[in-house]
Amino acid sequence: MRDRAGPCGRRTRRPYRRAPHRTAPAERLDVPDAAFDLVYLADTLEITADPDRVIEQAARALTPDGVLVYDTVNRTPVSRLVYLVAFQRLPMTRVVPAGRYAARRLRPPAEVAALLARHGLADGGICDFKPRSVRSLIAGVLARRRGRITDDEIEAVVGFALAPKSKPLVTYLGHARKGRL
């Protein structure tokens, strides 16, 4: 039987050791320069008013050849509908506080690539990150809104998938390396 998970999937099946990690305001990381081999910006670029400062701080915290991994929300009509209307305005599907997301803070891939380059990070590309189906997303959001599931259980209901060959309509993952790829 062929292993279709690829190298990332195989890695996650191995037992893991708990890695030290920190959570901090992304605009002002209180860490020494070149302190981390990996920086992950989760749900950060789409809520910060200062993405340039966030990327600057991430680049500063990375060791030479360190890797930045991020997820963010694209600026498209579909992402606006999902994040600005469904997730924060419609009472039956609201799952985040009003004002958390704003159209000007949604980040198209070209904008993020320019930020990365400005701070010496080589863009390693992006991958569309989406729900298995619109139906599963609606089911997950409604279950979360009604308190039937927690944030930790959303993935099991929605079934997110990576789609590396498709253009991201809503959310995407990306990575970059300090220096050259």
pLDDT of residue 7: 41
Beta-strand pair 171-178/36-41:
unpaired
pLDDT of residue 38: 94
Beta strands of the chain (E only): which ranges?
36-41, 62-73, 121-131, 160-163, 171-178
Confidence of residue 15 (pLDDT cuts 50, 70, 90): low
Confidence of residue 177 (pLDDT cuts 50, 70, 90): very high
Supply the pTM of this predicted model: 0.85
pLDDT of residue 66: 97
Residues of the chain with pLDDT > 70, as a percent, come to: 90
Structure tokens given for 148: 């039937």
pLDDT of residue 8: 42
pLDDT tens-digit series, residues 31-89: 999 999 999 999 999 999 999 999 999 999 999 999 999 999 999 999 999 999 999 99
What mean pLDDT is reported for the chain?
89
Q: What is the dihedral of CA 80, 86, 91, 95, to 10 degrees?
A: -100
Q: Is the pLDDT of residue 181 over 90?
A: no
Q: Is the pLDDT of residue 13 over 70?
A: no
pLDDT tens-digit series, residues 90-117: 999 999 999 999 999 999 999 999 999 9
